[in-house]
Amino acid sequence: MNRVAVVTGGTRGIGEAISLKLQEKGRHVIANYGGNDAAAKAFSERTGIAVQKWDVGDHKSCIDACAAIEAQYGQIDIMVNNAGITRDATMMKMTFEQWDEVIRVDLTGCFNMAKAVFAGMRERKWGRIVNIGSVNGQGGQIGQVNYAAAKSGIHGFTKSLAAEGARYGVTANAIAPGYIGTEMLSTIPENVMEKIIAQIPVGRLGQPEEIARGVEFLTSDNAGFITGSTLSINGGQHMY
């Protein structure tokens, strides 16, 4: 079945790999992005995947965008909440704006997008929602009280949503990636990165494709009995 999938932040990094993997598996993919028009255009030309710009932190934009996608493609079956940002600073230096922006995009963005599609999924008795958390939402990290709070919040959000969707065939799961080689890591100094890699038992960064494979599985028909779970894909960095 040609399911329709929306991937937020789906034009770069981990999101790009997710969009490509879902396309490869026959999904009809719409990749959202937030501001980098050049990257989105290049991605769309390279892959043939439709791209649409809106801010996942803006509730009305999410509702309007999903309504337009449903009008064009019929429905949205799969929602991958991948868009995320960092605004790192230690607690001593973090501003309210840095706190608020990360909570707005990384956590409220998941609510906004799930809110836009949940009713339709329930009605059709089939839906897959995957929210991208983080190892740092599980274990915390210096300089990331905002990001860790948002990502930790995703895990509670996912479990509650899973409980509400279960009897309607709508699953909600989270993936908690460890450190993955994307532009998001470009602000981390090289000496800090060396220390991070030294703490990863498999001895390397993860690849975006390794997260995409997890998303593909959790959004497939085969994963209908998996809901409310968090899949950690982190090279053994953090184990519960």
Among 34, 143, 214, 235, binds ligand NDP (CB under 6 A): 34
**Active site includes 73?**
no
Residue 42 is a binding residue for ligand NDP (CB under 6 A): no
Q: How far is CA 67 from CA 16, 29, 56, 58, 61, in A?
A: 23, 15, 14, 15, 10
- Catalytic hit among 33, 147, 168, 179: 147
Residues 6 or more apart in contact with residue 77 via CB below 8 angstroms: 3, 4, 5, 121, 124, 126, 127, 128
In the chain the first and final C-alpha atoms are separated, in Å, by 36
DSSP 130-157: EEE--HHHHH--TT-HHHHHHHHHHHHH
CB nearer to ligand NDP: give 36 or 44: 36
> What does the alpha-carbon distance between residue 36 and residue 53 come to, in Å, rounded to a whole number?
9
Residue 123 is a binding residue for ligand NDP (CB under 6 A): no
* Shortest reach from residue 86's CB to ligand NDP, in Å: 7
Q: Which two tokens stand for residue 232?
A: 């950690």
Residue 83 is a binding residue for ligand NDP (CB under 6 A): yes
The stretch among 67-75, 77-85, 138-146, 189-197 that binds ligand NDP (CB under 6 A) is 77-85
The stretch among 54-62, 165-173, 213-221, 225-233 that binds ligand NDP (CB under 6 A) is 54-62
Residue 63 is a binding residue for ligand NDP (CB under 6 A): no
- Site residues (vs ligand NDP, CB under 6 A): 8-9, 11-15, 32-36, 39, 55-57, 82-85, 105, 132, 134, 177, 179-180, 182-185
Catalytic residues: 147
